[in-house]
């Protein structure tokens, strides 16, 4: 798709996902006549951005006024960032709002795979989208049918390579960015060791997941997919400090109220490096709750298939819930989630969910998906070159569309 250059667009790029996406997007915007600036906060940022940039080497206390001056001195009209809960991003977002500067927040897709999220105000628990089912139904009436596009190509090795390149540079260049503290908790070295171990036992875990799946074919079960404790979905948008707290909360509720014949299947997050030792922790909590014979735990398996066969899914606020909603499976969200809407998720207590789960309304979910596709999902991915190129074009279309619409109604802003 071709776009006409739009004058007076000055983009500031902050941190993006590991890999070339932000750089490639900036080059595309430059080609359309926009000006682009970049602030690197660590050596990983610098490695992913081969062009000119400002390297910020100060601490968090100096950042707020630094970013405000930068926004003014460079006449920034748009700030682009990935993830709106990182401390430096939060400060930049607030200062941009004070200056009435547009902020475009990227995040992993609300509906996966094949999509990323791009919202102008915030994502996940910070999204400005309503939680009113009638609003979605009303909005969807004027929207076109959902697009039928081919699946995006993806390679785990590509994501792993990009992540290793980024975080190894963060560690190697720490002396040059002495005050930078990553939003990610934990040790890069230990995480690398965890992944080596995970690759070593991959086949064994896959075989265990297959065996458990076969065992559950004639057994009623609920599904509880784990999330990463380091994810801001847990740290900022849930009542739990760590996934272990969520596990204990869910297991004790299951023990109190779930019918005796049912089982609870706990599935690890596919990007968990395996440092927590969930198997032993889940066994300990299960024994304490008195349901060790009813709890199953796997690290592999097909989440979509498992969700479709479950009596219900319990999640904190994972986007994996959309797999259950798509299949019409009752879903319980324990934290702030964009899909936690009356008519989609169970609106009562978790204790009641085990015995009287509320089934999602297909009309509401269809309307919800159509609004998401229209407002804040962009087609593409980060795990292959073709997927990234598609994502760049989708992002440009959305960014230019937002501005074109606003300028059409407010020419005095030009």
Cα 254 from Cα 350, distance rounded (Å): 8
Biggest CA–CA distance in the chain, Å, is: 68
Closest CA to 223 of 383, 408, 357: 357
DSSP string covering 54-83, please?
EE--S-HHHHHHHHHHHHHHTT--EEEEE-
> What pLDDT is stored for residue 404 in this prediction?
38
Specify which residues 69 forms β-bridges with: none
Specify the pTM.
0.88
Residue 412 confidence (pLDDT):
32
Tokens of 116: 């990323």
Q: Tell me which of 193 and 343 has the higher pLDDT.
A: 343
Residue 383 CA to residue 157 CA, distance in Å, equals 8
- Other residues' Cβ atoms within 10 Å of the Cβ of residue 52: 8
Name the phi and psi angles at 190, rounded to 5: -65, -35
- State the CATH class of domain 205-368: alpha beta
Q: Which residue has the tokens 């390297």?
A: 55
Answer whether residue 277 shows pLDDT above 90: no
Say what percent of the chain tops pLDDT 90.
76
Please identify, in words, the CATH class of the domain defined by 10-153+377-413.
alpha beta
Q: Classify the phi-psi angles of 90: left when phi > 0, otherwise alpha if psi is within -120 to 50, otherwise beta.
A: alpha
Q: Report the run of H or E that residue 333 belongs to, with start and end.
A: strand 331-333
CATH 3.40.50 location in the chain: 10-153+377-413, 205-368
Residues 120-175: tens digit of each pLDDT: 878 988 899 999 999 999 999 999 888 888 999 988 889 889 988 999 999 999 99
Question: Closest by alpha carbon to 278, among 295, 302, 261?
Answer: 295
Residue 403 has pLDDT above 50, yes or no: no
Residue range 17-75, pLDDT digits in tens = 999 999 999 999 999 999 999 999 999 999 999 999 999 999 999 999 999 999 999 99
pLDDT digits (tens, 9 = 90+) for 198-224: 777 778 888 888 888 888 989 999 999
């Amino acid at each position: 798709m071709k776009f006409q250059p739009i004058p007076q667009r000055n983009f500031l790029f902050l941190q993006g996902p590991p890999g070339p996406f932000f750089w490639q997007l900036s080059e595309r915007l430059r080609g359309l006549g926009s000006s682009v600036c970049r602030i690197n906060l660590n050596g990983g940022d610098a490695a992913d951005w081969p062009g000119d940039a400002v390297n910020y080497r100060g601490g968090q206390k100096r950042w707020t006024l630094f970013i405000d001056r930068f926004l003014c001195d460079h006449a920034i009209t748009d700030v682009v960032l990935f993830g709106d809960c990182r401390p430096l991003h939060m400060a930049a977002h607030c200062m941009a709002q004070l200056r009435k500067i547009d902020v475009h927040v990227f995040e992993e897709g609300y509906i996966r795979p094949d999509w990323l999220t791009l919202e102008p105000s915030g994502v996940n628990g910070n999204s400005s989208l309503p939680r009113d089912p009638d609003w979605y139904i009303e909005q969807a009436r004027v929207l076109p049918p959902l697009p039928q596009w081919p699946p995006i190509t993806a390679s785990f090795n590509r994501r792993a390579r990009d992540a290793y390149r980024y975080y190894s540079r963060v560690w190697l260049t720490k002396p040059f960015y002495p005050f930078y503290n990553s939003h990610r908790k934990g040790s890069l070295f230990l995480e690398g060791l965890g992944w080596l171990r995970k690759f070593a036992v991959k086949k064994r875990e896959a075989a265990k997941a297959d065996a458990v799946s076969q065992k559950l074919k004639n057994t009623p079960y609920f599904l509880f997919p784990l999330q990463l404790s380091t994810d801001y979905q847990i740290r900022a948008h849930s009542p739990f400090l760590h996934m272990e707290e969520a596990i204990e909360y869910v297991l004790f509720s299951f023990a109190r109220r779930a019918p005796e014949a049912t089982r609870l299947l706990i599935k690890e997050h596919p990007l968990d490096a395996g440092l927590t030792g969930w198997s032993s922790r889940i066994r300990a909590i299960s024994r304490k709750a008195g349901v060790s014979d009813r709890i199953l735990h796997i690290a592999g398996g097909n989440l979509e298939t498992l969700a479709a066969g479950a009596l219900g899914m319990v999640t904190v606020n994972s986007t994996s819930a959309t797999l259950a909603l798509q299949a019409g499976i009752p879903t319980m969200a324990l934290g702030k989630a964009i899909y936690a809407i009356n008519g989609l998720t169970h609106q009562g207590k978790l204790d009641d969910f085990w015995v009287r789960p509320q089934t999602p309304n297909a009309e509401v979910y269809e309307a919800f998906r159509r609004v998401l596709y229209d407002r804040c999902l962009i087609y593409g991915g980060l795990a292959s070159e073709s997927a990234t190129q598609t994502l760049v074009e989708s992002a440009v279309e959305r960014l230019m569309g937002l501005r074109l619409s606003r300028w059409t109604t407010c020419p005095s802003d030009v």
